[in-house]
Amino acid sequence: MKTIGVLTSGGDSPGMNACIAAVACNAARKRLRVVGILGGFDGLVEGRGTELDEKCVSDIAGRGGTILQTSRNGDLKTRLSASDIPDTFGRLGVDSLIALGGGGSMVAAKMVADTGFPVIAVPCTIDNDIEGTHYTIGFDTACNHSVRAANDIMDTAESLPGRVFLIETLGGDTGHLAVASAYAIGADAVVVPELKADIAGMCRRIKTEMDSGKACAIIVIAEGAGPSQKLADQIAEVTGRRVRPTVLGHAQRGGHPSYWDRTTARRFGEMAVQLLLDGGSGAMTALVGGSLTDVPLCIPVGASRALDVDTYHIINRSAQ
């Protein structure tokens, strides 16, 4: 193996650039060439790449987004199946691949690996929903956005007591980000797509607490659990309080990656290069129980990571 291709696919998680930098720098130390593939798996199919060396990546680790850009393509499986992967790799001049991305990217990476080319995947998504790893790059930074928003909202709550504040997080059709954020914030409730919420019971509890002197309430809702404004209207009707929704939106994807995301991204990137050098393929870097490891790509491809139901019930003061 002489040349590694690296691409970023799916959402642009904070920490992707740090991982790209780690791949380029570690490869250079081992006298390997790195080609950055532009535009995700679309760029792989179309043969779009650019040379990456230590100088190119010297100042990118602290930047959000990805310098390689990314893509979301609904017919990606069809395009990859119809592509001549050996020809594509030949045109790019690469003989192995490191793919950064979320669940869909794991599927695409496995498709490429199944053609016989060495492929290592790195889990990068703020949703933290990939099976086989307890952590995905970008999750910590996204949670920190939620915490900062809640802190700012509490400043307003002290000046204008008696209100209910609703914070909508990203997370796609999963609630990992919402649950983790709600727990860190000390929220009064959390609503997620995976579980049916007792909205009426939640509203009655919050009303009772506020009638007894609680200054305000904070509820976190995952974007996939339904429109936050609809929930806000329900809460207002039951509690008789003003409800103020805040939609974090794509601000939660951006910004400088946290210390934890930069460190984990670097470790994953360095590990991915070493796995390829050791002859590995069809695997994903992972963090399990605090230890770095690698797992077969069939694990993340086969299922999504289960929600932390225990923490969900703690936040909602509900019985399991």
Choosing from 12, 127, 188, 261, the catalytic residue is 127
Task: Say what the pLDDT of residue 144 is.
Answer: 96
Task: Say what the pLDDT of residue 18 is.
Answer: 97
Q: Which residues of the chain have pLDDT under 50?
A: none
Give, in order, the Cα–Cα distances in Å from 123 to each of 56, 70, 189, 285.
23, 14, 29, 7
Query: Under 8 Å CB-to-CB from 117, ≥6 apart: which residues?
Result: 85, 86, 89, 95, 96, 97, 281
pLDDT in tens, 41-51: 888 888 899 99
Instruction: Give the CA count within 13 Å in the CB-facing half-sphere of 118.
Output: 18
Angle between helices 309-316 and 176-185 (to 10 degrees): 40
Give me the count of residues in the chain: 320
Task: Say what the pLDDT of residue 35 is.
Answer: 97
Which domains, from first to last, does the chain contain? 3-138+257-302 (3.40.50.450), 142-253 (3.40.50.460)
Asked whether the beta carbons of 126 and 13 are under 8 A apart, the reply is: yes
Report the amino acid identity of residue 294: D
Q: Is 87 a catalytic residue?
A: no
pLDDT in tens, 212-251: 999 999 999 999 998 899 999 999 999 999 999 999 998 8
Task: Say what the pLDDT of residue 87 is.
Answer: 81
Q: How far is CA 23 from the centre of its chain?
A: 19
CB atoms under 10 Å from CB of 215, counted, come to 12
Task: Say what the pLDDT of residue 299 is.
Answer: 96
Task: Say what the pLDDT of residue 158 is.
Answer: 76
Please state, in angstroms and rounded to a whole number, the distance separating the CA atoms of residues 65 and 201: 40
